Amino acid sequence: MHGRRLATTDRLIVLASPDCGEGLDRIREWADKHAIDVSVVDIGNDITEVYDPDAPTLGITLGGDGTFLEGIKQFTTHGIPQLGVNAGTLSFLARVETDDIEAALEEVIRGRATVDSRQQLHVDSSGLDTTGINEVTVERVPPENPFDRKVTRLEVFADDEYVGQYEGNGVAVSTPTGSTGLSLSAGGPVHMPGDNHSLQIVPLHTHRLGSRPLVMAASTEIEVVTRGQASLLVDGGRAQKVLSEESVVRITGAEEKAHVVRTSYDDQFMTAITEKLGWGLRDTSDGPRDLLADDIPPREPTFLEHARDIAIEAAESVGEPLRELHGRVEDITYKSDKSDIVTEADHRANRIITTVIENEFPDHSIFSEESEFVDGSGPYTWVIDPVDGTGNFAHGNPQYSVSIALLENDTPVLGVVYVPETDETFHAIESGDAYKGETKIVTTDRDSLDESMLLSGYDPDGGFLTHFYDQTQGVRSLGSAALNLCYLANGSADAVWEYDTYPWDVAAGLVIARAAGATVTDRYNEPYTVEFGVDERRSLLGSNGLLHPVLYDHLESSDLV
């Protein structure tokens, strides 16, 4: 989950431990000022009764690590991101202090927090089927007779490969989040938990000198086979079972990840464990090193570079909700006719993007296909198409995109196009280079029509296809004007023809294509310009430049322009 998505939060669910009155009062007072609903659920109760799937929700745990773990169990089921506030004592997981509640929440609703994806594990054994965020332990059961055997013997397999025999108190299979608990006390390694999708096997008080912790991918299927009675515990006993001899415990990474919200008011991970475990790794005065005399300070980004980074974050933040809704044709409504549809996804993506931009640039205008015009006081206007290729999107076709452009006095100066299904981001700044991710892209250098691949937008009578299909390597229609221009920029096509366009269809792609070396003109072979307040759609011809004269001549002779 992208942190910018949190900017649209309009509901808080607080899972509170006893004696947290001060923290609750501060959360309620802050939420009241921001017109955000608050529901409080006492620890031990279920949040289901107060959960609304249609309301963008932030989960808050108010307590110690026990409350945080209970929050993981409940919030993750509903896909709710979780912020942990420490109202306990020794807390590794809930790292926002009570005094910082308001400042941390401000950061969240401005979309400036980050969201860690935390690996969970799935456990299946003898009727027990559950998930955990910390660890699974398979341990010896203390004998009733003090003279009976006091150790347990376990056989461990990973993806059907025999790992070995563990003889001692047992084994722990931990996530990175759980690496600072039981696994650490047993000599296991500490993992940085954020976006770390792995599992580790740690022997507990083994009687074999050569036993060492093992780290493996979260997708690994681990099997622990008991050679005697054993006790199975998940997350320190939140789920437990006594196993008989020859029982099999199957453990693997859970598909469902926990979303943990981090703000600048959280203690950093290494700071938290250093202070709370009393490690002498560094002095409290230690921190980021000061710049030395011969160091070159980092260059401050220009305004357009900063705006580009915000646009990329805004576009990528809607990737997850769009992928969740992709292909739900039952959500379609029609704006004007059957070729002009809108879905719930358009509205949801638009709200996230416009909220991010309004938070960062409150004096800018915003022109979006899916909302009212926002009239700012400055010379800059954002042009947004939250889902370009809505017909493709609604019917499960992956050829759709998110298009965001910035105009300065009606001139496009910045373009970002994000493709959710392939996780590709195209971007460019006027007079700069064009990029796909961090890789520079340029148009092709073909100058022969019969060697070229063309892309076409809406072709009402098939005229473009008829006149160009046999003369080229083919004509393809993708259904997204923004994507067409990006593929031209990337060299995946040599030319693009759009019979009709609106500004939000092409503003971002226009900047990207031109930065990559493309020539883009209108039906009169004049440089294409973005115009507002014009009801009729406009034709667009884009090419690698070398092909432009012959393409335009063919279009003109065939009465397509």
Residue 65 annotated to the active site: yes
For residue 237, give the nearest of 311, 181, 198, 282 by alpha carbon. 181
- Catalytic site residue from 25, 65, 290, 470: 65
Residue 6 makes CB contacts below 8 A (sequence gap 6+) with 56, 58, 81, 108, 109, 111, 113, 115, 261
- Asked if residue 286 belongs to a known ligand binding site, the reply is no
Asked if 269 and 275 touch (Cβ cutoff 8 Å), the reply is no
- Asked if residue 169 belongs to a known ligand binding site, the reply is yes
- Asked if residue 505 belongs to a known ligand binding site, the reply is yes
Q: SS3 for 165-225, per residue?
A: EEEECEEEEECCHHHHCHHHHCCCCCCCCCCCCEEEEEEECCCCCCCCCEEEECCCCEEEE
For residue 201, give the nearest of 219, 209, 189, 185 by alpha carbon. 189
- Asked if residue 525 belongs to a known ligand binding site, the reply is no
- Asked if residue 388 belongs to a known ligand binding site, the reply is yes
Burial of 31 (0-12, 13-18, 19+ CB in 10 A): middle
- Asked if residue 385 belongs to a known ligand binding site, the reply is yes
Q: Measured between alpha carbons, how far is 547 from 541 in angstroms, rounded to an integer?
A: 11
DSSP-assigned beta bridge partners for residue 140: 230
- Residue 538 is inside which H or E element, if any? strand 538-543
- Measured on CA atoms in the order 271, 273, 275, 278, is the torsion positive or negative? negative
Q: Measured between alpha carbons, how far is 151 from 208 in angstroms, rounded to an integer?
A: 12
The pair of three-digit structure tokens given for residue 22, joined into one six-digit string: 């001060």
Distance of CA 514 to the CA centre of its chain: 29
- Taking each helix axis from N to C end, the angle separating 344-360 and 303-317, rounded to the nearest 10 degrees, works out to 150
Instruction: Tell me which DSSP letter residue 552 carries.
Output: H
Q: Measured between alpha carbons, how far is 260 from 479 in angstroms, rounded to an integer?
A: 37
Alpha helices in 318-471, H assignment, sequence order: 319-325, 344-360, 390-394, 463-468
Asked if 3 and 355 touch (Cβ cutoff 8 Å), the reply is no
| Cβ atoms within 10 Å of 83's Cβ, excluding its own | 31
DSSP per-residue string spanning 463-501: HHHHHHTTTSS-EE--S-HHHHHHHHHTTS-SEEEEEEE
Phi, psi of 525 (to 5 degrees): 65, 25
| Cβ atoms within 10 Å of 136's Cβ, excluding its own | 26
Q: Measured between alpha carbons, how far is 200 from 175 in angstroms, rounded to an integer?
A: 7
- Asked if residue 66 belongs to a known ligand binding site, the reply is yes
Residue type, 387: V
For residue 91, give the nearest of 245, 266, 208, 223 by alpha carbon. 266
Instruction: Tell me which DSSP letter residue 352 carries.
Output: H
- Asked if residue 116 belongs to a known ligand binding site, the reply is no
Active site (catalytic) residues: 65
Where is the binding site, in residues? 65-66, 134-135, 150, 169, 369, 385, 388, 505
